[in-house]
Structure 1
Amino acid sequence: IYSSTEIHKAVIKRLKDYGGSKKLLSQLLDEEQQRELEQEQEMEEERQQKRPPVVQPYEPVLHNEIKSLCDMQDPTVKLYNLPSVFRPLKNAFLSTTFHEHSQFHCWQANLWISTEFQRVIQTHGESLDPFLRPPRWVLIYRNQHVIFVSAFEANWLLGQLQHLHRNQKFVQPPTTTLRLLLPRLQRDRSIFIDISRLTIPSTVSCSIPVEWLAQLFIFNGTLYFNTIEEQTAYCQCLGLCPKPRTKLEDDAYDNSWIALDGYVEQPEYRKQLQLHHCCFSSNPLVFVRKLLENRNSSHAPLTSHVGSIIFNAVKLPIL
């Protein structure tokens, strides 16, 4: 009589003899299908990745007019007389798909870009959407104008402004300062532009009017606000009246003064709703959403202050 252990060993031996080490056909098919699915997924991901074409970058140039901005004893430079070096902010969107939606007459007249900030690649008719320069370095000129400059220009301005400050060639306090501007992509993050010890040269007063900040937030792709004042200015700038609303605003919505997305189009309605700082004559939300996606390489999350406003027409609490 064979024991159970011996029977078990005998069965295993027979299975190995007849089955060998070959896998079942169904298992082989499953593995082959899995490999095909993985290959298809990789190919689909590659198709979705929009790689910009190979291009030739511009050689950076430092214009004398940029250097002259540091001369505090000279008369104020009339930027509008130097279009080869300074251009209104609207020109940042030339040769991009944003240009037709940017409503270029609606940007504040004291917001500028240098032509070097705009020049990134040598174009041959292709869209510059993938090559929009991140707006990081800002020169506050005579406390009147905001000029976005390239990193190459900022590097020279940084050294020159520090040199003049060390040699006490500045009027006090300095009215021309170089500052770093970062988009606020997370709550409670600094945007740097309003920190006095980070301005070059450092200055006691470095506040930026909130109406200026609102347009800078739109331009650089900010997602969060630090104060209710910033949030209000942002909505006012875009002509939006999002929820939660007052009784007057609820009545205006019921009367179709306010669109579903929160936009108030008619000037007389804006006046009654106290939207005194609206800069856009037509609904800018398509432009803002698209620009945010370009700046941050993703859609604005609905949990962010800006995402909630432009997608859900709802103001989230500023914590």
Structure 2
Amino acid sequence: MRKLGKHHWLSFWSSNEVHQQIQTMKKNSVSPNEKENIDNRITLTDILRWVYENTQQTTWDGLHLWATQSLSFQRKITAFRNINWKEQGTLYTNTTMENIARECLEDEVLELKSMYGVSKMFQTIFDIYSVRSKHSNICSSVEIHEAVSKRLWDYGGSKKLLTQLLDEEQQRELEREQELEEERQQKRPPSVHPYEPHLHDEIKALCDMHGPMLNLSKLTSVFCPIADAFLGTTFYRESQPHCWQQNLWITDEFKRVIQTHGESLDPFLRPARWILIYRNKHIIFVSPFEANWLMGRLHDLYRKQSPGELFTTTLRLLLPRTKPDQSIIANTPTLTIPPSIAPDCGTVLFPIPTEWLVALFIFNGTLYFETTDEQTAYCHCLGVCPKPRTDIEEEAFEKGWITVDGFVKKPDHRDILQLQQCRFHANPLAFIRKLMENRNNTHVSLISHVGSILINGVKRMVSVKRKAYEQTSFSAEKKLRKL
């Protein structure tokens, strides 16, 4: 890591077991009073501490076997010491070779009495080696014996091992038995209690098609800005709450999931599935409980509607596009509630503008785009300029306007590169990546459109075909404008 240069970075990948070990080590390193305010994010310091602790434990675990092997090595030195290797006329008789083999031979068959007959007791590795050396009565190199003793004294410490005069294979057998006999209790997070669902009167008022339009910004007890969905999570500050569109909302019921007592809400982030298009001006994410009531109410109004009456408030299912060519359903006219079909005009769907849609894609964890326009708007929203780049963009990259991951920070540089629609002041790519992993419960795939932009800074090819229902919706919108 000391050789890392500018724009170089490291990525650490680990199993869930390693993740749990690091989290446990981090919690144990702080005082009980500070555990409530501990940040659950794993930093480089936590990883290095885990590596250090594991290296220390591995070194200690291998000391006993290393000492046992040194005794075997010393015994072989003693066996070969009786032969004069420098004298050329030395005869290697059968008796000589048999004596060497007998003195170097180690037991292959161990009696149960020798394995389990000795009472168990705790001893330090240094004491085990000293007793074993005296028991073996090995008279070999004093230098080797002293060097091994010093190493065991320096690294063995006061930690004790449950063993006594054991060979290497016996030691391994007992270690396995200890692991089976040891009762390991992993501290699990405390149980949580869900909030009781509640339907506000303001939610019911959203279905009123003829009354005055609600001022959502003043109904703060029911409607919240979309970034408030991240309150209580580890990435709320990174979400840059004031940078999202002003017409994107969540309900208080959508935000409330569990009764928290300081726990991180990362695992309890509610999936973004149901949206209410309010008067074709606002998009409100609602909970399934609220969506169930709105669905029934809007169906009743649809059956009682007057001829020629058009609905500007619709409930829609919004699916994250986690596979190529997958429908998000939100722009399907027959699947909105009520259906966006008029007897005289045909389809009268209000298509969600692409600038709004890409913000919804960020929020719900979409990984693939349907058109190049969606991908371009997505990059503009994030303020990134990924590869392949134009000549002007390459020149800007050489000047340092564009970072390695593609982000353009300064507003005047964004104007030149036609990124005026960027919503974020600081680089949002790390936050978007965490959000995608949280939404999809997996690492972002490099072969996905979004994953390629976030990780590699490269735009992948996207199909430009438009579906038939979208063509119908736009033609119907033109008819309505003429009327």
Tell me if both proteins adopt one fold, taking TM over 0.5 as the criterion: yes
**Pair 162,52 (structure 1): closer, same or farther in 2 beyond 3 Å:** farther
The answer to whether the 8 Å contact 2:280/2:350 transfers is no
Q: Secondary structure at the match of 1:139?
A: strand
The answer to whether the 8 Å contact 1:89/1:112 transfers is yes
TM-score (norm 1): 0.84
Partner letter of residue 182 of structure 1? Answer: L
- Range with greater deviation from structure 2 (184-193 or 199-208): 199-208
The answer to whether the 8 Å contact 1:195/1:206 transfers is no
Q: Deviations over 1:137-182 (max 9, x none)?
A: 0000000000000000000000000000001169722100000001
Q: CA RMSD in A?
A: 2.5
Residue 59 in 1 paired to residue 203 in 2? no
**Pair 100,170 (structure 1): closer, same or farther in 2 beyond 3 Å:** farther
Q: Deviations over 1:16-64 (max 9, x none)?
A: xxxxxxxx979xx7xx98x96xx89xx9xx98xx975410000000111
Quick one: higher RCO (CA 8 Å, sep 6+), 1 or 2?
1
> Separation in 1 of the partners of 2:323 and 2:188?
27
Identity across the alignment (%)? 59
> Separation in 2 of the partners of 1:170 and 1:317?
45
Alignment-derived partner of residue 281 in structure 1: 425
Alignment-derived partner of residue 32 in structure 2: none
Runs of 4+ residues over 3 Å off in structure 1? 50-53
- Range with greater deviation from structure 2 (149-158 or 93-102): 93-102
The answer to whether the 8 Å contact 1:72/1:170 transfers is no
Partner letter of residue 250 of structure 1? Answer: E
Task: Find the structure with the greater CA-based Rg.
Answer: 2
The answer to whether the 8 Å contact 1:72/1:171 transfers is no
Q: Secondary structure at the match of 1:270?
A: helix
Partner letter of residue 300 of structure 1? Answer: V
Q: Deviations over 1:64-90 (max 9, x none)?
A: 100000010100011111111101101
Residue 107 in 1 paired to residue 251 in 2? no
Q: Where does the alignment leave 5 or more consecutive residues of structure 1 unmatched?
A: 1-23
The answer to whether the 8 Å contact 1:164/1:170 transfers is no
Structure 1 residue 244 displacement after superposition: 0.3
Counterpart pick for 2:448 among 289, 295, 304: 304
Alignment-derived partner of residue 155 in structure 1: 292
Alignment of 1:141-220 (within 5 A): 141-168=278-305, 172-203=309-340, 204-220=348-364
Q: Deviations over 1:221-266 (max 9, x none)?
A: 0000000000001000000000000000010111111000000001
TM-score (norm 2): 0.56
The answer to whether the 8 Å contact 1:221/1:292 transfers is yes
Alignment of 1:1-319 (within 5 A): 53-168=190-305, 172-203=309-340, 204-319=348-463
Q: Where does the alignment leave 5 or more consecutive residues of structure 2 unmatched?
A: 1-107, 111-168, 341-347, 464-483
**Pair 273,85 (structure 1): closer, same or farther in 2 beyond 3 Å:** same
The answer to whether the 8 Å contact 1:183/1:191 transfers is yes
- Range with greater deviation from structure 2 (201-210 or 158-167): 201-210
Aligned residue pairs: how many?
286
> Separation in 2 of the partners of 1:207 and 1:189?
17
- Range with greater deviation from structure 2 (164-173 or 240-249): 164-173
**Pair 91,169 (structure 1): closer, same or farther in 2 beyond 3 Å:** farther
